[in-house]
């Protein structure tokens, strides 16, 4: 079960009280910048994690400034569309509402997922590879500030290139199931307050594992984890060798 830290109390709470009950995720972000994009990304990850656990989710975006620009940048970052405003969901019951906002942002009463800033604060990263930017943001827990510079983006880009090549190579071998131990580590990580850095560490351990781990199992592990990560890790499958 996915548990998150409620920033209002500092205590862990179940993200969804019961499976198959609608949960609402509200992203509170205004302006066009990496800080606002990170709020949207954390909300997107919450939605993906809940859906992987079988919970139906409604995702909403609130905010008054530069919403169209933020949506466009979010789409480039692999963030799935949000519905507009809270009025849409006013008549729809939900077992729980999760509010996602920056540390200095405002949100209605309820469970609050606080998102730390991106440093240095910047209006945007217009020249960054969007998926490399996504990985750079995922590499830090959402409660920790993200030091974002050209080196961080370059390292993320290099990791994506390496992983996509490896996944394409593994895909040429017979498929094998995700090992139970690896699947368990992935679930334990993302269900513990969305610990995405630990999910990435699990993938690195799979990448570096010895020959006893079949290539097909490595492929299925990366493909499965990417349902949450949204890094297009299987993009190069079927391409030229």
82 and 134 inside one domain: no
Asked if 130 and 77 count as a contact pair (C-beta separation under 8 A), the reply is yes
Residue that terminates a domain, selected from 105, 126, 147: 126
Q: Are 86 and 61 in contact (CB under 8 A)?
A: no
Query: Is the Cβ–Cβ distance between 37 and 74 less than 8 Å?
Result: yes
Same-domain check for residues 86 and 121: yes
Phi and psi at residue 187, in whole multiples of 5°? Answer: -65, -45
For residue range 31-83, list pLDDT tens digits in order: 778 899 999 999 999 999 999 999 999 999 987 666 788 888 899 999 999 98
CA distances from 131 to 8, 48, 49, 161 (A): 31, 17, 19, 11
Q: How many domains does the chain have?
A: 2
Residues 14, 47: contact at Cβ < 8 Å?
A: no
Q: What is the pLDDT of residue 126?
A: 47
Residue 88 shares a structural domain with residue 27 = yes
104 and 206 within one domain: no
Same domain, residue pair 18 and 39: yes
Q: Are 20 and 110 members of one domain?
A: yes
Low-confidence ranges of the chain (pLDDT < 50): 91, 122-124, 126
Instruction: Name the residue range of residue 155's domain.
Output: 129-241
Instruction: Please check whether residues 122 and 134 belong to one and the same domain.
Output: no
Whether the pTM exceeds 0.95: the reply is no
Residue 240 pLDDT: 59
Q: Are residues 152 and 63 in the same domain?
A: no
Of 126, 158, 173, the one marking the end of a domain is: 126
At residue 123, the pLDDT reads 43
- Whether residues 98 and 152 share a domain: the answer is no
Number of H helices, E strands in the chain: 7, 9
User: Do 202 and 106 sit in the same domain of this protein?
Assistant: no
Long-range Cβ contacts of 10-18 (<8 Å, 24+ apart): 12/193, 13/111, 14/96, 15/46, 15/49, 15/50, 15/55, 15/96, 15/98, 16/50, 16/53, 16/55, 16/95, 16/96, 17/95, 17/96, 18/95
Q: Are 39 and 74 in the same domain?
A: yes
**What is the rounded distance in angstroms from the CA atom of residue 94 to the CA atom of residue 24?**
6
Q: What confidence score (pLDDT) does residue 182 get?
A: 97
């Amino acid at each position: 079960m996915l548990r998150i830290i409620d920033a209002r109390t500092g205590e862990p709470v179940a993200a969804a009280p019961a499976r198959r009950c609608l949960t609402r995720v509200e992203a509170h972000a205004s302006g066009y910048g990496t800080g606002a994009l990170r709020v949207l990304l954390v909300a997107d990850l919450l939605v993906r994690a809940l859906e992987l656990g079988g919970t139906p989710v409604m995702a909403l975006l609130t905010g008054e400034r530069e919403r169209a620009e933020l949506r466009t940048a979010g789409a480039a970052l692999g963030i799935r569309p949000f519905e507009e405003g809270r009025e849409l969901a006013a008549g729809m019951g939900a077992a729980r509402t999760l509010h996602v906002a920056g540390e200095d942002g405002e949100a209605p009463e309820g469970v609050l997922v606080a998102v730390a800033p991106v440093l240095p604060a910047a209006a945007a990263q217009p020249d960054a590879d969007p998926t490399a930017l996504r990985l750079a943001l995922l590499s830090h827990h959402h409660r920790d500030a993200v030091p974002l510079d050209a080196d961080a983006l370059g390292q993320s880009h290099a990791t994506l290139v390496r992983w996509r090549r490896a996944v394409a190579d593994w895909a040429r071998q017979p498929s094998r199931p995700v090992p139970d131990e690896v699947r368990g580590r992935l679930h334990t990580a993302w269900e513990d307050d969305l610990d995405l850095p630990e999910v990435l560490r699990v993938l690195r351990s799979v990448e570096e594992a010895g020959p006893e781990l079949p290539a097909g199992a490595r492929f299925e592990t990366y493909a499965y984890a990417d349902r949450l990560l949204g890094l297009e890790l299987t993009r190069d499958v079927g391409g030229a060798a």
